[in-house]
Structure 1
């Protein structure tokens, strides 16, 4: 009997049906939340390091959190969409080994799920102002968090269940690469968990190795084998992911975000941020203020 527990849950941000035009044109998008689309009319493109996907009617598309992509619509595109944050017991994303935009053919249940999600979560669309300066993301994030808190327990469970159903459509072996994942040893899992909850503090590889009672060099090789990254690069990636979340969801200044994510100074923070995302922190904030505008 398979006794594996579901280790991931999702928090609704936005859900709506929208009609888009050629203003839906953004490069180097890296969002701290998932985007899931069902296209019913028109066409567009999602592109990224692994190629491009044509957005065409009748298909579902999933962009996991922190997945680099470009979004483009030349003429017209209408879509059902849902955006949501992910929580996991160990701090590892469900799609950590599948960081790319995904596409599958939709079925009638998918369409019904989108419509039902909108029906039980009214008022969860994004701002439709034509002026980017009035779209203060932190205000809207707090508003939607409060809306989640005000949901009845029945709506909370149904919302969670629908998101699980939509996510499950992308977990087929031919699409989802989870079957390639090798179970990580406890030393690596403990280090990952420790990093997640101590991002703002100094994190030394030697300390992580000591916690695992391992030689530093051996620990580093073991960590790289099971994560594909050195401990230092993994720490930097997680710090920048946390910084992206804070930039989008708060009004904190760059120096404060740098401190909260464990960087010694704002200049080093800005340099690493641009190296990993392709944008400066300021450019990233500006992009995300305009990203969800409706034509």
Structure 2
């Protein structure tokens, strides 16, 4: 018998039912958490870099973390939604190679799951001000963390189970585009895990190559061949993703986030962040709250 351990768990942020109008109109949204929508009335649109999907009754949609997307409702949209963070033992993501919006036909079970999620997690909707003086205080995310800590074991496990069931709906082989499974050398695979766990430290190509007893040039070529990008690019991508997560879930200053993510200084952090996300850190942080408060 093959034993498989679950490496991923989820942390609930919000769950609610909302009726949206033309105010729900956002472009270039990118968040460190997942979104799953169930539409029961009206229509809208959601798009990413590759496709535009119609939001319509009877369908489920997922927006994986760190997926750039646009959200739009011209008239009216009835929407169940849940937002949650993903945690894993090695820092990896289920959708690391599938940062795309996905759509699948919903079932009665899906609707019942949303109903149960709302029942066991009361008060988890978004009813906040969009005043910057309010949302810049990080009250919003602090409250979600406290609510999770207050859950009893039964509610916690049931919430985990429901989030897993809803997420699993999009991991169907017919829907989920699994990357080609190429055999990755053990030294490269181990290096990927090492990077994710040690983003806060000084990571250089020379140091990473030395760990696995390889020449830096050879190591760099092997890394790109099996990951599609060079080591320093990969490191910066993961550091910015970690920074996005910390900006959304903590009260850390930008200087503290730099230290936690391994950036040498604020200037380099801001430059790299904008290059990879298309916006400055301050604009990104404001956007997270604005999209949440005006859901």
* TM-score computed with the length of structure 2 as normaliser: 0.94
Residue 130 of structure 2 corresponds to residue 125 of structure 1: no
Aligned to 1:6: 6
Aligned to 2:257: 257
| Aligned counterparts, 1:180-259, within 5 A | 180-259=180-259
Superimposed CA distance per residue, residues 59-115 of structure 1 (whole angstroms, 9 cap, x where no aligned partner) = 000011111111111111111111111111221101111110000000000000001
Structure 1 window deviating more from structure 2 (7-16 vs 104-113): it is 7-16
Counterpart Cα distance in 1 of 2:283 and 2:133 = 14
Counterpart Cα distance in 2 of 1:252 and 1:89 = 23
Aligned to 2:38: 38
Give unmatched runs, 5+ long, in structure 2.
none
Aligned to 1:135: 135
Superimposed CA distance per residue, residues 43-69 of structure 1 (whole angstroms, 9 cap, x where no aligned partner) = 111112112111111100001111111
Aligned to 1:22: 22
How many residue pairs get aligned? The number is 295
Structure 1 window deviating more from structure 2 (85-94 vs 55-64): it is 85-94
Aligned to 2:79: 79
Tell me the secondary structure at the aligned position of residue 98 of structure 1: coil
Structure 1 window deviating more from structure 2 (232-241 vs 249-258): it is 249-258
Counterpart Cα distance in 1 of 2:81 and 2:167 = 13
Tell me the secondary structure at the aligned position of residue 125 of structure 1: coil
Counterpart Cα distance in 2 of 1:150 and 1:256 = 28
Aligned to 1:100: 100
Structure 1 window deviating more from structure 2 (232-241 vs 134-143): it is 134-143
Counterpart Cα distance in 1 of 2:137 and 2:245 = 11
Structure 1 window deviating more from structure 2 (249-258 vs 161-170): it is 249-258
Residue 274 of structure 2 corresponds to residue 271 of structure 1: no
Counterpart Cα distance in 1 of 2:31 and 2:137 = 13
Counterpart Cα distance in 1 of 2:101 and 2:258 = 29
Counterpart Cα distance in 2 of 1:94 and 1:245 = 16
Aligned to 2:66: 66
Superimposed CA distance per residue, residues 129-161 of structure 1 (whole angstroms, 9 cap, x where no aligned partner) = 253432347222222112112111111111111
Aligned to 1:116: 116
Tell me the secondary structure at the aligned position of residue 166 of structure 2: helix
- Relative to structure 1, the CA distance from residue 181 to residue 25 in structure 2 (aligned partners, 3 Å threshold; closer, same or farther) is farther
Structure 1 window deviating more from structure 2 (86-95 vs 245-254): it is 245-254
How far off its partner does 1:212 sit? Answer: 1.4
Superimposed CA distance per residue, residues 161-216 of structure 1 (whole angstroms, 9 cap, x where no aligned partner) = 11111111111112112363335332122212221222122110111111112222
Contact 1:137 / 1:249 at 8 angstroms: preserved in 2?
no
